[in-house]
Amino acid sequence: MSTIKTLAWVLYSKDLVAGNYGTLRKEPISFEDISRKEVLIEPLYGGWEANMTHALERKPVDVCHKRGESKVVLGNSGVVRVLKIGPGVTRLKPGDVCVFIPYGPCNRHGYLDTAFGFGFDEPGTIGMLARQTKVKDYQLVPVPGNSQLSLHQWPIISVRFGSGWSNWVVTLKCWEAQVSLEEFPSPHVFGWGGGVTLSELLLAKEKGFNVSMIASCDKRLELIKNLGITPIDRRRFSDLYYDHEKYESDKEYRKKYFASLSTFRKIVNEITGDDGVSIFIENIGLPVYPATMRVLGRPGIIATTGWKKGMNLEINRALECHYRHIHVFTHALRLTEGEKCIAYAAENNWIPRDNYPIYDWEDIPQLAHDYAQGKISSYFPTFQVNPI
């Protein structure tokens, strides 16, 4: 079998980089030509995802060790062009522009065992930080012809809006299982800021729900407001960051924490009329989890698709039962959901325009640095890989 050669930004095992853990190196790579059901693609645009930053930071693990590889090429969201198809591929042709969905092996119900290109998941994959790579045919969905969205918006579907779609499908059904929309047609749906959260709040808004989103910079708050979502300024309760060790040992920290918690609860009560939050989209983790549970209504749902800090949480099972709280945990999309999600986005212009910063191919390390340092105000930082 012939070999394909291309260029990529590569992350090496930390054992090989003399302590400079977060360095991406641009270098040639090669891989075997496509097989019967594979497709050779060139990424056009990719999205920088939080899982890529986790991989660069080696948190919670060194991804290379986890995958059993000396180096990896990250990148699990993108819009791509088909270059060549295997003889068993019938639904695609060279030249097609497609949204890449990072499906990996699935169980018999269509739920992912591992995801393509995630640092912590499927080994042997070459992600969107390569000028060319190969994927399975079922991982590509052609960009709908009726779409008014720009090509650089479509990578947002791959991970963020795709994950939000699947999470919202489950969350909505869980809410309706306890309280019908006829009984309570306008629940209050809140979310801690982030691209996945924004996707779900837009879906909730479309249903007629009351939606509010927490953010901490003026540009994001302005975007939230312009999208018809109630903005909540995180800076009004900036000390609401739970740290168990400090909480137990530092009286001054605990005092500031409770002051911020009081402000937060007051804001929530004003918006919900003391009813509490019906559905809270929370993808951050331990720093905000205790406060989230304090304002969750009865009944109430806390929904998450992942974490940013603090994976492990403690709950009081008795209280959660009493308050009829449902915890929804989902990961990525079900195999059958990608096309539905993409069709909805095309028909409803679901993906907002927020002046995305589009980094050039040569500037991808700068993008990684800016994202890690919190210097990007957009929810959807994007990079260009190949010319259109």
User: Which regions of the chain does DSSP assign to beta strands (E)?
Assistant: 3-12, 24-32, 38-47, 71-72, 78-85, 97-100, 133-136, 140-142, 188-192, 210-215, 230-233, 277-281, 296-304, 325-329, 358-359, 382-384
- Could you confirm whether domain 160-329 is CATH 3.40.190.10? no
Residue 124 has pLDDT above 90, yes or no: no
Q: Which single residue is written with the structure tokens 């590569």? A: 10
Choice among 16-20, 48-52, 56-60 with the minimum mean pLDDT:
16-20
Q: Are 122 and 29 in contact (CB under 8 A)?
A: no
Q: Name the pLDDT band for 23 (thresholds 50, 70, 90).
A: confident
Query: CA 310, CA 1: separation in Å to the nearest integer?
Result: 45
Average pLDDT over residues 191-198: 94
With vertex at residue 281, the alpha carbon angle to CA 118 and CA 204, rounded to the nearest 5 degrees, is 110
Of 38-47, 111-120, 172-181, the poorest mean pLDDT is in 111-120
> Rounded to an integer, what distance in angstroms lies between the CA atom of residue 94 and that of residue 81?
8
pLDDT in tens, 61-111: 888 888 889 999 999 999 999 999 999 999 999 999 999 998 888 899 988
pLDDT of 18: 58
Closest CA to 159 of 279, 285, 74: 74
User: If you write DSSP's letter for every residue of 101-163 in order, what string do you get?
Assistant: --B--B-TTS-BSSBTT-TTS-TT-B-TTBSSEEEEGGGEEEPPTT--S-GGGTHHIIIIIHH
Cis peptide bond upstream of 87, omega within 30: no
Between 3.20.20.70, 3.40.50.1100, 3.40.718.10, 3.90.180.10, what CATH number should domain 3-154+351-384 receive?
Answer: 3.90.180.10
Identify the weakest region by mean pLDDT among 6-20, 73-87, 214-228, 263-277: 6-20
- Please check whether residue 227 is in contact with residue 348, taking contact to mean a CB–CB distance below 8 angstroms: no
Taking residues 179-187, report their average pLDDT: 89
Asked if residue 121 has pLDDT above 80, the reply is no
pLDDT value, residue 298: 95
Mean pLDDT value across the chain: 92
Task: Provide the residue ranges of all domains of the chain, joining segments of one domain with +.
Answer: 3-154+351-384, 160-329
d(CA 202, CA 220): 15
pLDDT score for 381: 92
Q: How many helices (H) and strands (E) does the chain have?
A: 12, 16
